[in-house]
């Protein structure tokens, strides 16, 4: 019952009830990326994503970024981008997590370049 209520009233749990109805009625599945996100397009040209898991726009890989933003690109036609050995896999925004980038090697000590005026 709680899952059904979440579908009706929250947008951060994959897709809402309205999005699900729109997807069923007028959505055509264009493709799916390696993370499980599904990409849809309507007959009128509207495009949307149904994310797998938590909704975060930084989870869209570069292969689909140009398509979702209507940018003409050679990738748009195939959605198969050749990956080279030196390329790292796509990661969502990791700011605020334990995997966030810190310029210092010691993550526990963050040097401040200022002094607090209140103690």
Tell me how crowded residue 35 is: count the other CB atoms within 10 A of its CB. 15
Per-position DSSP letters for 57-92, written without gaps between them? GGGS-HHHHHHHTT---HHHHH--PPPPTTPPPP--
For residue range 4-27, list pLDDT tens digits in order: 666 666 555 567 777 888 888 889
Tell me how crowded residue 27 is: count the other CB atoms within 10 A of its CB. 21
Q: In terms of pTM, does the model score above 0.75?
A: no
pLDDT computed for residue 8 by the predictor: 60
pLDDT computed for residue 85 by the predictor: 82
Give the residue, 90 or 68, on which the prediction is more confident. 68
Tell me how crowded residue 39 is: count the other CB atoms within 10 A of its CB. 20
**Tokens (6 digits) for 52:** 């797998």
Work out the percent of the chain whose per-residue pLDDT is above 70: 71
Tell me how crowded residue 67 is: count the other CB atoms within 10 A of its CB. 21
**What sign results for the dihedral spanned by CA atoms 42, 83, 73, 92?**
positive
């Amino acid at each position: 019952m709680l899952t059904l209520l979440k579908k009706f009233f929250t947008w951060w749990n994959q897709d809402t009830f309205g999005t699900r109805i729109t997807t069923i009625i007028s959505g055509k599945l264009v493709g799916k990326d390696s993370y499980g996100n599904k990409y849809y397009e309507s007959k009128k040209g509207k495009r949307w994503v149904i994310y797998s898991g938590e909704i975060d726009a930084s989870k869209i890989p570069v292969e689909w970024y140009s398509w979702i933003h209507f940018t003409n690109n050679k990738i748009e036609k195939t959605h198969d981008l050749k990956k080279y050995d030196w390329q790292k896999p796509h990661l969502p925004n990791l700011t605020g997590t334990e995997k966030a980038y810190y310029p210092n090697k010691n993550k526990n000590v963050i040097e401040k370049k200022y002094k607090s005026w209140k103690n």
